[in-house]
Amino acid sequence: MIDTNELRKMCDTMRVDALRMTTDAASGHPSSCLSCIEIIGVVILDIMNIDPDDPSKFDRDRFVLSKGHAAPAYYSALSLKGFIPREELYSLRAIGSRLQGHPDMNKTPGVDFSTGSLGMGLSVANGMALACRLNNASSRIYVLLGDGELQEGQIWEAAMTAGHYRLSNVIAIVDRNKLQCDGLTEDIKSIEPLDAKFKAFGWRVFFVDGHDIGALQKVIRDAQTPYDGPTVIIADTLKGKGVTCMEDQLNWHGKPLKGEAFEQALRECGQ
């Protein structure tokens, strides 16, 4: 277990990375990264059994970024873990780059599955969990779901599958930042009550402050305790967390920062 203060520093670096990478590429989804920096940071840097020297290790844990547009945060965490050279981060979205706009398992070391079309990650995680069960591997499958993508029907097909097959090795985390591209999830098509929905499908539900690193470390370890079914952690987050101009604001989906706003954001993130 990594010290919480150490993780805090690494997450600060991830936050700056995600801003720099998307501004440098003049393309991408910084606000969607900022809401799940701590979630991705804690899962990849602290929790998962993975090894950059043996990326295809048989019994490794898996991570599926179902909200694939948070790829810059994912790449940043993988670079801090040693899967990707730090200097490669700025090739994001460039022609020929290993760092695609959305994660590509065949291009980027450490990426377990290709994503980007929303609503598909939970089915994939279930398939990984079933395969690992058949392989008698002790792997855990972590899947990060956006809250907006919970409007996709396939998510609930997959929620039913995980409940039916009692996939105790599946741990889903919902980045509940409450905003989607066109506005508030609850205005566009309400997804609440989320806990009751998951419970009805046979899931164990935890809540956490998705920006509190110590709380995330604790709740994920709670989610690893024995339970005869899948577990979901609903993480309360803010889209654009840490950058005043975009934090919890509408109309920032898929928009990189520019000019003075970018400089100001870096200062706010400790640069």
Partner 1 sequence: MKVNVRDSYGTALVELGEQDSSVVALDADLSASTKTAQFGKRFPERFFNMGISEQDMVGTAAGMASCGKHPFVSTFCVFLPGRSFDQVRMGVGYPNLKVKFVSTHGGISVGKDGASHHANEDIAMMRALPNIDIYIPSDPHATYTTIKHIYLADHPCYVRLFRDSVDYLYDESEQFDPTRSHVLQEGDDVGIITCGFSTHEALKACETLRNEGISPQLVDLQVLRPLDEATIRKVAQRCGRLITVEDHSAYGGVGGAIAEFLSESYPTHIERIGVRSFTESGSPRSLYEKYGLSEETIVRTAKELTQ
Q: What is the contact surface with partner 1 in residues (CB under 8 A)?
A: 62, 64, 104-106, 112-117, 120, 122-132, 134-135, 137, 153-154, 157-158, 160-161, 164
List all residues 6 or more positions away from 131 whose beta carbon is below 8 Å from its beta carbon: none
Q: Which is nearer to partner 1, 26 or 134 (CB)?
A: 134
Phi, psi of 232 (to 5 degrees): -120, 140
Q: Which is nearer to partner 1, 42 or 159 (CB)?
A: 159
Query: Nearest distance from residue 149's CB to partner 1, in Å?
Result: 13
Residue 138 CB burial class (10 angstroms; 0-12, 13-18, ≥19): exposed
Query: Nearest distance from residue 132's CB to partner 1, in Å?
Result: 6
**Which one, of 175, 52, 59, 63, lies nearest residue 115 by Cα?**
63
Q: Which is nearer to partner 1, 131 or 196 (CB)?
A: 131
Query: Nearest distance from residue 18's CB to partner 1, in Å?
Result: 23
Query: Nearest distance from residue 169's CB to partner 1, in Å?
Result: 11
Q: Which is nearer to partner 1, 118 or 208 (CB)?
A: 118
List all residues 6 or more positions away from 271 whose beta carbon is below 8 Å from its beta carbon: 16
Query: Nearest distance from residue 44's CB to partner 1, in Å?
Result: 17
List all residues 6 or more positions away from 134 whose beta carbon is below 8 Å from its beta carbon: none
Query: Nearest distance from residue 239's CB to partner 1, in Å?
Result: 24
**Helix, strand, or coil (residue 236):** strand
- The amino acid sitting at 116 is G
Under 8 Å between Cβ of 231 and 172: yes
Helix (H) or strand (E) holding 32: helix 30-34
Q: Which is nearer to partner 1, 30 or 103 (CB)?
A: 103
Q: Which is nearer to partner 1, 170 or 265 (CB)?
A: 170
